Amino acid sequence: MFRLYEGLERLGPGSAASTARALALAGALPAGARILDIGCGTGAQTLDLLRQCDCHVTAVDMHQPFLDSLMARAEGAGLVSRVRTLCADMNALELPDGAYDVLWSEGAIYHIGFDVGLTQWRRLLRPEGVLVVSEMSWFVDSPPQDALDFWREGYPQMRHENANAEAMERHGYELLGSFRLPVADWWDVYYADLTVRLEAFETLYGSTEEGRAIIDEQRREFDVMRRGGDSCGYVFYVARKHGQGVC
């Protein structure tokens, strides 16, 4: 799976415009804001954050080649002095409490579960710090059967966008705003590049059982999202830390 995604500009749906919109919902940040980008991948959103605000970013991922790619891109963009990388498991971040003004995670919190991320990462935020995450969510109560079947297999914990918003309040955050990623954030870069990459991947690994399974599953996702993308998708949730929260 890592081989499939290496070299892609984005490892999931998103855009500089959506990152900017989420950043605006976070409100005014202190000068030189400390941002922790969790599950950064190759860092498309990391670079967008560095371009869009006065900040220093610690970018976390468990796959070192992704981090190497991020640093090469940051150097090429003249941004390397404001970013550092950390190769670590997002489920076991050995970082100090209250060290960050913003926790940012685009399309990655599902790896440990939305509620687990909300509770485990909360300690890393300073008082009144801001959590910004995008999460795969249902938009309707009765989605098409093929979409329901696909996501029940791929992400059975996926919930309605309203349930995720309520979870943030329950875990000690004040929801500042949310919005759905536009269809273009899926197809213009992420799926467009992944389609090309998949063809090369198939040449190398299509004859293997594991490679064939990855290829077939990805093409099934294309089909499900092409026909039923109005029933589900990524939602950006932006919330401020407050109170004690619950476990």
Full 3-state SS string of the chain: CHHHHCCCCCCCCCCHHHHHHHHHHCCCCCCCEEEEEECCCCCHHHHHHHHHCCEEEEEEECCHHHHHHHHHHHHHCCCHHHEEEEECCCCCCCCCCCCEEEEEEECCHHHCCHHHHHHHHHCCEEEEEEEEEEEEEECCCCCCHHHHHHHHHHCCCCEEHHHHHHHHHHCCEEEEEEEECCCHHHHHHHHHHHHHHHHHHHHHHCCCHHHHHHHHHHHHHHHHHHHHCCCEEEEEEEEEECCCCCC
> How confident is the model at residue 47, as a pLDDT?
98
**What would the pLDDT profile of 116-126 be if each residue is shown by its tens digit?**
999 999 999 99
Residue 243 has pLDDT above 70, yes or no: no
**pTM for this entry:** 0.93
d(CA 54, CA 34): 9
Span 183-207, average pLDDT: 92
Higher pLDDT, 74 or 6: 74
- The number of CA neighbours under 13 Å toward the Cβ of 122 is 23
> How confident is the model at residue 6, as a pLDDT?
79
Going by pLDDT thresholds of 50, 70 and 90, the confidence category of residue 247 is very low
Residue 69 has pLDDT above 60, yes or no: yes
